[in-house]
Amino acid sequence: MPRTRHHRGTCSPGCAVEATLRLIDGKWKGVILYHLLEGTLRFNAIRRRLASVTQRMLTNQLREMEADGLIARKVYAEVPPKVEYSLTERGRSLEPIIHALKAWGDLHAELGADLQADTADPVRTAA
């Protein structure tokens, strides 16, 4: 079941950032968008690229992005069903943001490893 979204009528100074993050929040959305930058993909092709995502979670994330106008879903009248996902113009406009997130992650990947090490090592955590 897709989560309930809360929308405010007022706008704080950071509302443009909040609005953008609201569209791409979710554990898998950014990664899905990154893979769709390469082109149209079928459901199972996306799932293979995201090895630890469940079918239900992937379906929910794709539905939310479709509802937000970021991706297009094309269903072919075939047996078995064939469904393809691609970025819409609105979704493609996130390309520089997705690439910036990847570049930042590439530069700071060690941060995640450091945080995991801190949690695993009580001596480092106490220091």
Report pLDDT digits (tens) over 25-45. 888 999 999 999 999 999 999
Question: pLDDT confidence of 18, banded at 50, 70, 90?
Answer: confident
**What does the pLDDT read at residue 17?**
84
Phi/psi at 93 (5° precision): -65, -15
Strand partners, 85: 41, 73
CA distance 84 to 72: 8
Q: Please, are residues 41 and 73 in contact by the beta-carbon 8 Å criterion? A: no
Q: Is the preceding peptide bond at 81 cis, omega within 30 degrees of 0?
A: no
- 6 pLDDT exceeds 70? no
Q: Minimal CA–CA distance to 63: which of 39, 30, 29, 35?
A: 29
CA distance 107 to 22: 24
Q: Please, are residues 125 and 119 in contact by the beta-carbon 8 Å criterion? A: yes
**What does the pLDDT read at residue 10?**
60
Query: Other C-beta atoms within 10 Å of 71: how many?
Result: 25
- What is the reported pTM? 0.75
Residue at 78: amino acid letter: E
Q: Which two tokens stand for residue 56?
A: 């239900």
Highest mean pLDDT among 16-25, 89-98, 99-108: 89-98
Q: Minimal CA–CA distance to 62: which of 123, 2, 125?
A: 2
- 117 pLDDT exceeds 70? no
Question: pLDDT confidence of 5, banded at 50, 70, 90?
Answer: low
